[in-house]
Structure 1
Amino acid sequence: MPRLNMFGCLVVFLLSISNVAQAGVVVGATRVIYDGKKKEASISVTNADKSTPFLIQSWFEVDEGVHRETLPFIITPPLFRLDVGRENILRIVRVGNQLPKDREAVYWLNIKSIPATEESTLNKLQISVKTRIKLFYRPVGLPGNANEAHKLLVFSKNNGRLIATNPTPYHISFFKINIGSEEIKDVGMVEPFSTREWAIPDGSAGDISWQSINDYGGITDMVKQ
């Protein structure tokens, strides 16, 4: 096959993968906040595909790849069929008392969409997609405001490391951290009453500035120290 034709086939193939990945199941939020005052939390799952039904499987993990049989939450329904154009609500219910009262707890919610298959003589590319989002359990009566907690962070430097200290009972998920014009990579999240540190990029100097992700998945205003 001429090289140009091979290139054209490759482009078509990659575009087809992109279309499959973009269509299909849409999860209604980038995070779930479980308010300790309420009996349950929920999140929507919608099949935006125009032709394919999906099997939806959902489960919790403590950390990536770490699943325990006994967790303080259950999700219902854990497995169901989602037809074309339909929406379903996943309900999350607390079933255990082994949760802290003075700070947030975090768990991972996994939602896996498996496309239906049909008997066919044609070869088809089937892609199962797993969406992984954080569930934050927020006990009743925590002081302060979760969406303002990032403003209370304290940064320091020690032996080539940048250290963020979180004096609040809330998890703070970073969107960006800069030292002057240099951006810190893999910023992640700092847990309540904890610290997190990163290597300082060579040659970086100036103010430390940062943005975090709020309860709604939005980006906060920049804060400087």
Structure 2
Amino acid sequence: MFKYISAIILMSITSYAFSAGFGINATRIIYNENDKTKTVGIRNTTKDIAYLVQTKVLTPDDKQSPFETIPPIFRLEPGNTNQVKIIKNNNVNLPKNQESLFYFIGTAIPSGKLGNENNNNTVSGAINIAIANKIKLFYRPSNLASTPEEAQKGLTFKSTSKGIEMINNSPYYVSISSLNIAGKKVKVSVEEGNSMIAPYSQQTYNVKASTGKVYWIAINDIGGENVYSSSIQK
């Protein structure tokens, strides 16, 4: 029989990266075209657990991105915060007329505890849970038309045969945390796949209404919330 049994279970946490113990000190990262580097803090608020941390930046379909993290792997001691640098590969060109979306991911494996070494007749083990925290990274070119706030405020809502169509005519990604259409609260979430609209795109919500007011809350660059309202267009 094995004296020690260990397993790694990988869990993905895609909401705010603020799980107990291990977390990322940001809800999103804005990487401007003129930035030479961006820095994000990775924290360990436990008192007695060290983590082995891996960081990386991937595309939305989990492929390699033009961003490098330094350090990519490090040990994070209890009660400490480490700063991770994000650097873009200048040999890779990204669109200059709109934002590009990536994900910064920090994965942490906690140190395990061994069983009773003095008892050779027992089977002991530890389950080490790898926690994956994931936040959005927006690459923002210089000299984009309008501002992020104007993009959030400028969303338009049109009545169609399939429902209410939300239209984003800006070069920015817009993230929505709350939406009310014609008096009906609409469920928006990462799981539903309807909480963010890409630049110059449309998204339809299954709400039947030809007139009425729309109220929405958009998440700004620092993770705060901005409230807006408009009317349904025909």
TM-score, with normalisation over the residues of structure 1? 0.82
Kindly report the root-mean-square deviation, in angstroms, between the aligned alpha carbons of the 2 structures: 2.0
Alpha-carbon deviation of 1:124? 5.0
> 1:220 matched to which residue of 2?
226
Residue pair 2:23, 2:133 contacting (<8 A) in 1 also: no
Equivalences for 1:22-171 in 2 at 5 Å?
22-64=19-61, 66-68=62-64, 71-95=65-89, 96-121=91-116, 124=126, 126-171=128-173
Shift of 1:205: 6.6
How far apart in 1 are the matches of 2:210 and 2:158? 14
SS in 1 for 2:128: coil
Q: CA deviation at 1:22?
A: 4.7
SS at 1:149's partner residue? Answer: helix
Once residues 118 and 177 of structure 1 are traced to their aligned partners in structure 2, the CA distance between those partners, rounded to angstroms, is 46
- More relative contact order, 1 or 2 (CA 8 Å, 6+ apart): 2
Q: Distance in 1 between matches of 2:47 and 2:113?
A: 16
**Hey, which of these two has a bigger chunk of helix by percent?**
1
Once the two structures are superposed, residues 29-84 of structure 1 have per-residue CA deviations (whole angstroms, 9 ceiling, x without a partner) of 000000111101111011111110001111222125x223xx21111111110001
Compare 52-61 and 179-188 and name the one that shifted more: 179-188
The answer to whether the 8 A contact 1:179-1:205 is kept is no
In the alignment, structure 2 segments of 5+ residues that lack a partner are: 1-17, 117-123, 189-193
4+ aligned runs moved over 4 Å, structure 1? 122-125, 202-205
Letter in 1 for 2:105: N
1:165-185, Cα deviation, whole Å (9 max, x unpaired): 111111101111111331222
Give the one of 199, 202, 206 matched to 1:195. 202
3-state DSSP class of the match of 2:227?
Answer: coil
How many residues get paired? 201
In the alignment, structure 1 segments of 5+ residues that lack a partner are 1-20
SS of 2:153's equivalent in the other structure is helix
Query: Cα offset for 1:199?
Result: 1.5
Q: Percent identity?
A: 30
Residue 186 (structure 2) aligned to one of 184, 187, 191 = 184
Secondary structure at the aligned position of 2:225 is classed as coil
Q: What are the equivalent positions in structure 2 for 1:200-211 lying under 5 Å apart? A: 200=207, 206-211=212-217
CA change 1:203–1:37 in 2 (3 A) is: closer
| TM-score normalised per structure 2 | 0.79
Higher strand share: 2
Q: 1:203 to 1:163 in 2, by over 3 A?
A: closer
Whole-Å separation in 2 of the counterparts to 1:203 and 1:194: 21
Give the C-alpha shift of residue 123 in structure 1: 5.4
Structure 1: how far apart are the matches of 2:102 and 2:63?
10
| Structure 1 residues 116 and 143: CA distance shift in structure 2, 3 A | same
